[in-house]
A and B are shown apart, each in its own frame.
Chain A
Amino acid sequence: DAGVIQSPRHEVTEMGQEVTLRCKPISGHNSLFWYRQTMMRGLELLIYFNNNVPIDDSGMPEDRFSAKMPNASFSTLKIQPSEPRDSAVYFCASSRTSGQNTGELFFGEGSRLTVL
């Protein structure tokens, strides 16, 4: 079975440029999460979608960040304009929620973003 697929794996860009990260969740999973990992803050939840609807975006740092999930098999995280402090590893994760969410997330391999 294919896991969560993220692209690109690595992105190096210059400050001010637009960055788009992509995610394909596991088929049949109805919850999708974007996390950011930094040395200082560890793994932080940015946004959570359930059945393609954004449920909680309280972790999105500021208006420069936006995320979409146009269908059950695709999501994007966009940063515009990008800044050096956005440099981090961005993980997408998915899960199948039922009556009781066990919290077992399936993570992609991450997209390492470097903003110069």
Chain B
Amino acid sequence: DQQVKQNSPSLSVQEGRISILNCDYTNSMFDYFLWYKKYPAEGPTFLISISSIKDKNEDGRFTVFLNKSAKHLSLHIVPSQPGDSAVYFCAASVSGGSNYKLTFGKGTLLTVNP
């Protein structure tokens, strides 16, 4: 049972345009969400996060939106750059005793074309 789903295995966009990566979750107990970025032959690196008490968090070109009623979050990258080409993982956790446990989606490969 996949609790965090990234239904698009890949996404291709033109440089300068917006990239929108989507993530859905099924566990209503999740209250903290993160996006990680992974380049080939490297480990994932933290990108941005959002708590369930917010519906938007912005950091430079990256914005994460959370829709709790739809159990959906998205990562917007504006403008997209070729260096953004990577695999993006959505992750979720539950506050409290098991708050260390991140459940990851399978990732979306973003390709930004020059």
Interface of A is mostly: strand
CB atoms of B104 and A101 under 8 A apart: no
Please, which residues of chain B bring their CB within 8 A of the CB of A55?
Answer: 100
Could you tell me how many residues of chain B have their Cβ less than 8 Å away from some Cβ of chain A?
22
Judge whether A101 and B46 touch: CB under 8 Å: no
Interface-located stretch among A14-22, A40-48, A78-86: A40-48
Cross-interface CB contact of A103 among B41, B43, B102, B107, cutoff 8 Å: B102
Residues of chain B having any CB pair with chain A under 8 Å = 32, 34, 41-46, 49, 89, 91, 93, 95, 98-102, 104-107
Interface contacts (Cβ under 8 Å), in number, total: 59
A interface, size bucket:
20 to 34
- Give the chain B neighbours of A100 by CB distance below 8 A: 95, 99
- Seen from chain A, the residues whose Cβ lies within 8 Å of a Cβ on chain B are 4, 31, 33, 42-45, 48, 50, 55-56, 91, 93, 95, 97, 100-110
